[in-house]
């Protein structure tokens, strides 16, 4: 399909109109068409490529840190080098424990990336299921789900997370993920519900139903593909928020704990020394911000590419 679309001029409104016609004819081209159009739009955006490059580097760093550093986390530390600034051979200097800071920062990528992606995927699944049920069936089910969403939406993030994490003192990556999912699924659920409601009365859905399609088929084949794009965008933008939130909890001391190595923990330690040893603050802050920034730029680019009104 990509090859077929690639041969056509990308200007003007023609592709959209053509796809609308395809969709009205009842074909499944539309979902592919939307994403293919978006892809063609994306590959022309330099910011998209910049963020992809950063995220690929960070992902590789979190999966195979051995490519970037020969040492493991908290290895080869010597208190004699505590807080010593950058020098040749140790470009990032040393942390408070006298560990090579570059090594520590490289190993700090994993918790952020794992938590950011895992939480977003799980929360997205929860949101798609609850939002679809709520929007499609309406009635009392909708009311119940809406109220439960309100309850969790009203919980203040830092305080809610702190209470949970103190109540369950196992601060592993799994516990962090759980907390962030519990506090992070509401917005996407609301967006999904709104989308399903907007789509479920469309003519092609009525047509499918008239042709005898059952609830499940209508939902998965007709409503879901047409409703999911905005939720997907919110999810992508959310990865950055999750990573920043995780780092905030680490920084407050209620998140991941030593000996886990994470950017948030490094910033937590840096707070007492950053006036005299700014490198302790700068390096993890730059890595963390760059990752969050890349996810936001990626989400922005995908949203713009998917939203024909802005083109």
Distance CA 107, CA 61 (A): 7
In Å, how far are 53, 247, 254 from 291, measured between CA atoms? 11, 12, 22
According to the binding rule CB under 8 A, does residue 170 interact with other proteins?
Answer: no
Tell me the two tokens of residue 199. Answer: 């789509």
According to the binding rule CB under 8 A, does residue 305 interact with other proteins?
Answer: no
Q: Which residues of 249-265 are buried (b: 16+ CB within 10 A; e: fewer)?
A: bbbeebbbeeebbbbbb
Distance CA 262, CA 253 (A): 12
CB 191 within 8 A of CB 208: no
Burial class (CB in 10 A: 0-12, 13-18, 19+), 308: middle
According to the binding rule CB under 8 A, does residue 163 interact with other proteins?
Answer: yes
Distance CA 118, CA 115 (A): 5
Which of 156, 172, 174, 215 touches other proteins by CB under 8 A?
Answer: 156
According to the binding rule CB under 8 A, does residue 150 interact with other proteins?
Answer: yes
- Torsion on CA atoms 144, 148, 149, 154, rounded to nearest 10: 140
Please, which residue, 191 or 288, has the CB nearer to other proteins? 288
Instruction: Report the site for other proteins in 176-235 (rule: CB under 8 A).
Output: none
Q: How far is the CB of 271 from other proteins (least distance, A)?
A: 7
Which residues does residue 87 pair with via DSSP β-bridges, in sequence order?
90
Tell me the two tokens of residue 97. Answer: 């424990």
CB 31 within 8 A of CB 227: no
Choose one: 2-10, 73-81, 91-99, 287-295; the region binding other proteins (CB under 8 A): 287-295
Which of 96, 155, 173, 213 touches other proteins by CB under 8 A?
Answer: 155
According to the binding rule CB under 8 A, does residue 274 interact with other proteins?
Answer: yes
Choose one: 109-117, 195-203, 212-220, 289-297; the region binding other proteins (CB under 8 A): 289-297
Please, which residue, 61 or 292, has the CB nearer to other proteins? 292
Q: How far is the CB of 266 from other proteins (least distance, A)?
A: 11
According to the binding rule CB under 8 A, does residue 96 interact with other proteins?
Answer: no
Please, which residue, 180 or 244, has the CB nearer to other proteins? 244
Q: How far is the CB of 21 from other proteins (least distance, A)?
A: 26
Per CB under 8 A, residues contacting other proteins are 147-148, 150-151, 154-160, 162-164, 166-169, 240, 244, 247-248, 251-252, 267, 271, 274-275, 278, 281, 285, 288-290, 292-293, 296-297, 300, 309
């Amino acid at each position: 399909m990509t090859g077929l679309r690639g041969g056509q001029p990308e200007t003007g409104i023609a592709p959209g109109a053509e796809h609308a016609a395809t969709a009205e004819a009842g074909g499944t081209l539309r979902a592919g068409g939307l994403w293919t159009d978006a892809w063609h739009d994306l590959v022309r955006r330099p910011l998209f490529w910049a963020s992809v490059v950063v995220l690929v580097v960070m992902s590789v760093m979190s999966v195979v840190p051995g490519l970037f550093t020969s040492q493991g986390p908290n290895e080869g530390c010597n208190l004699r080098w505590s807080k010593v600034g950058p020098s040749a051979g140790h470009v990032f200097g040393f942390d408070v424990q006298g560990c090579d800071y570059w090594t520590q920062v490289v190993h700090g990528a994993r918790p952020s990336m794992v938590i950011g992606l895992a939480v977003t995927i799980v929360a997205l699944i929860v949101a798609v299921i609850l939002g679809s049920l709520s929007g499609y069936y309406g009635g009392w089910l909708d009311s119940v789900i809406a109220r439960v969403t309100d309850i969790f939406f009203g919980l203040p993030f830092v305080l809610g997370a702190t209470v949970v994490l103190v109540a369950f003192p196992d601060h592993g990556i799994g516990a962090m993920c759980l907390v962030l999912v519990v506090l992070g699924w509401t917005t996407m659920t609301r967006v999904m519900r709104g989308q399903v409601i907007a789509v479920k009365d469309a003519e092609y859905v009525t047509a499918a139903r008239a042709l005898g399609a059952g609830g499940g088929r209508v939902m998965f084949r007709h409503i879901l593909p047409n409703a999911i794009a905005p939720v997907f965008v919110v999810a992508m933008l959310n990865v950055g928020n999750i990573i920043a939130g995780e780092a905030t909890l680490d920084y407050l001391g209620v998140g991941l704990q030593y000996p886990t190595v994470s950017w948030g923990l490094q910033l937590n330690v840096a707070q007492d020394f950053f006036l005299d040893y700014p490198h302790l603050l700068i390096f993890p802050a730059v890595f963390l911000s760059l990752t969050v920034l890349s996810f936001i730029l990626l989400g922005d680019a995908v949203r713009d590419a998917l939203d024909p009104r802005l083109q």
